[in-house]
Amino acid sequence: MQTVQPIRDKYLIEAMKQELRKVSYRNYFLFVMGINTGLRISDLLPLRVGDVKGQTHIVIKETKTRKMKRFLINLELRNLIYDYTMNMRMEDYLFPSHKTDLPIKRVQAYKILNEAAENVGIHDFGTHSLRKTFGFWHYTMHKNVALLQDIFNHSSPDITLRYIGINQDIVDKSLEHFSL
């Protein structure tokens, strides 16, 4: 299985947004929701309009852990949700398939996101990169691994740091000028 990485460059985040927006507002919205909530793709895709429209929090039972989780929807994302769902019904899926009445599948989400990533020059990218990008930037801004560990439901700070690629960044930096 491929190890995917967070997007560590804000310029590339913006490039992804533009690339996805060119193709579809749904695809752009999927990316923005993912990097702003830190939800797993398996928890994002089945969301319905009523789960987020007019809400301050997303309340779900996580698919992987089966635990209830409550995620704040930041103000910028709330405004985007309002725009995106303006002409949608409360029972509509947020990320509907164009072929069925169901939401897009994880494989389709991967294809959409990975194609955009390739187009903007991002490597080691997958659907989990959205969650890892959220984690990387949350940690970069707040430097609170315990808080991020709680958000991600990880059992230790080491797991969280390894998950978001911080440990690898630290190792790489320590070895960059190491020479005997």
Catalytic residue among 26, 48, 53, 131: 131
Confirm whether 131 is a catalytic residue.
Answer: yes
163 part of the active site: yes
- One of 26, 40, 48, 53 is an active-site residue; which one? 40
In a domain, 103, yes or no: yes
Residues 138-151: tens digit of each pLDDT: 999 999 999 999 99
Round to whole Å and give the CA distance between 113 and 50.
25
Residue 37 belongs to what domain range?
10-127
Does 154 participate in catalysis according to the annotation? Answer: yes
pLDDT at residue 1 greater than cutoff 60: no
Q: What is the mean pLDDT of the chain?
A: 93
Is 69 annotated in the active site?
Answer: no
Contacts of 118 (CB under 8 A, 6+ apart): 125
Residue 66 is among the residues annotated as catalytic for this protein? no
What is the per-residue pLDDT for 178? 82
Asked, for residue 143, whether it belongs to a domain, the answer is no
Residues 6+ positions from 149 with CB-CB distance below 8 Å: 156, 157, 159, 160
Q: Is the pTM of this model over 0.85?
A: yes
User: Residue 44 falls within a domain, yes or no?
Assistant: yes
Q: What is the mean pLDDT of residues 157-165?
A: 90
15-63 pLDDT, tens digit per residue, is 999 999 999 999 999 999 999 999 999 999 999 999 999 999 999 998 8
Q: Is residue 155 part of a domain?
A: no
CATH number at residue 34: 1.10.443.10
